[in-house]
């Protein structure tokens, strides 16, 4: 039953480009998918270890910039007379480097904040994101600053000279993002249902007890931060080679907030939460726009909906639906089937 539901879902998701002729809709789905990957990675931290990273977009941006710069090549003076030059590299190598560098930054952040929890972890992560944004804005020689990195090449896969496929068109990019999202989902699911995931949950639920049964909570917080950062970096790299222009605005705080909203509204600490939240809050602006409401009204409605979800479903949509479903099943089991005499049912 569960397996069939999964297969049906995947078949539906893979079939979308076949019947969806509207390229704009595909574009929205691709961007939403990229954000869902980022939201899933944030959920690993926020939902499972319980630590709120309000600088999560930094890892996204690091992935985007690193991958772009690797594939564009760059020349930069590290010292007045020391010029570092990099020839353009294949995009897949750039993407992997972006993921690795974002993961490495996550490792550093996890290590630096090894003793800070709660509000202090938030401050460390926000500060980190802001520093990275300022670097991207002001290190013009490397990043072009506000002029942005343009003409970023698209991903090409294959054996050079024999067969090559360029992820140029929207359906191809849709599949690329879909596969990346499924991969991220599988990795997170493996992680949270394992020893490592239990250690992260233990940190969230009761840190002193976790340490007293031998969980090295710092180690697992660092691990979670590193994996979440690498995954956000992957989302950033996908974004860069899809929209093909990256400017320091990718580090805007609002993107982190969007990811947090997706996770919290969908249900933090659940596997499906960021996906449901991401679909709703990724597609909602477009739905509202299509409903031909004025732009200002559109954002007011968005905000009101968000507040309603958080107010009425503080646990998030996925846990609320699950509780309702289980409650219904219990009520049905408790009620005697209709038509049978009450005395018999009571026996």
- Measured from the CB atom, is 25 or 187 closer to another protein? 187
CB of 21 to another protein, least distance (A): 37
Nearer to another protein, 127 or 218 (CB): 218
Comparison of 77 and 190: residue with beta carbon closer to another protein: 190
What's the closest the beta carbon of residue 201 comes to another protein, in angstroms?
A: 7
Strand ranges (E), the chain: 74-79, 82-86, 156-159, 163-166
Q: Residue holding tokens 């353009």? A: 88
- Minimum CB separation from another protein for residue 196, in Å? 5
Please report, as ranges, the residues that interact with another protein according to CB under 8 A.
186-187, 190-191, 193-196, 198-199, 201-202, 205-206, 208-217, 223, 227
Under 8 Å between Cβ of 254 and 129:
no
- Shortest approach of another protein to residue 119 CB, angstroms? 21
Report the C-alpha gap between 251 and 255 in whole angstroms: 7
Nearer to another protein, 57 or 318 (CB): 318
Rounded to the nearest angstrom, the gap between the alpha carbon of residue 264 and the centroid of all alpha carbons in its chain is 13
CA–CA dist 153, 22 (Å, integer): 24
- Which residues have a Cβ under 8 Å from the Cβ of 47 and sit 6 or more positions away? 263, 267, 268, 269, 270, 273, 274
- Cα separations in angstroms, 19 against 4, 181, 209, 267: 22, 21, 53, 31
Closer to another protein by CB, 85 or 115: give it. 115
Nearer to another protein, 6 or 194 (CB): 194
Question: 339 in helix, strand or coil?
Answer: coil
User: At closest approach, how far in Å is the CB of 211 from another protein?
Assistant: 4
* Triad 251, 252, 258: Cα angle to 5°: 110
Residue 213 or 292: which CB sits closer to another protein?
A: 213
163-169: list long-range contacts, CB under 8 Å, 24+ apart.
167/241, 167/242
């Amino acid at each position: 039953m569960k397996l069939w539901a999964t297969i049906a879902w995947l078949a539906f998701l893979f079939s979308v480009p076949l019947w969806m002729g509207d390229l704009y809709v595909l574009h929205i789905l691709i961007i939403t998918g990229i954000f869902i990957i980022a939201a899933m990675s944030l959920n690993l931290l926020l939902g499972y270890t319980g630590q709120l990273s309000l600088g999560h977009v930094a890892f996204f941006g690091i992935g985007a910039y690193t991958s772009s710069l690797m594939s564009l090549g760059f020349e930069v003076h590290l010292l007045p007379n020391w010029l570092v030059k990099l020839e353009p590299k294949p995009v897949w190598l750039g993407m992997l480097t972006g993921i690795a560098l974002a993961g490495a930054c996550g490792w550093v952040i996890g290590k630096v904040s090894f003793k800070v929890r709660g509000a202090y972890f938030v401050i460390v992560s926000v500060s980190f994101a802001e520093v990275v944004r300022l670097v991207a804005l002001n290190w013009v020689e490397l990043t072009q600053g506000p002029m942005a990195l343009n003409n970023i090449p698209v991903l090409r896969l294959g054996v050079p000279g024999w067969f090559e496929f360029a992820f140029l068109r929207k359906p191809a990019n849709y599949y690329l993002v879909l596969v990346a999202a499924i991969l991220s989902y599988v990795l997170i699911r493996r992680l949270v249902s394992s020893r490592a995931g239990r250690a992260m949950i233990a940190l969230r639920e009761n840190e002193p007890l976790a340490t007293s049964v031998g969980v090295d909570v710092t180690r697992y917080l660092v691990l979670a931060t590193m994996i979440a950062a690498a995954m956000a970096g992957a989302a950033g790299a996908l974004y860069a080679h899809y929209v093909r222009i990256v400017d320091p605005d990718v580090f805007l705080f609002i993107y982190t907030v969007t990811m947090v909203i997706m996770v919290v509204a969908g249900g933090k600490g659940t596997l499906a939460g960021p996906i449901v939240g991401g679909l709703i809050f990724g597609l909602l602006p477009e739905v509202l726009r299509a409903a031909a409401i004025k732009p200002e009204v559109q954002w007011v409605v968005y905000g009101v909906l968000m507040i309603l979800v958080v107010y009425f479903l503080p646990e998030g949509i996925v846990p609320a639906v699950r509780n309702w479903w289980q409650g219904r099943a219990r009520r049905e089991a408790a009620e005697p089937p209709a038509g049978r005499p009450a005395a018999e049912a009571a026996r």
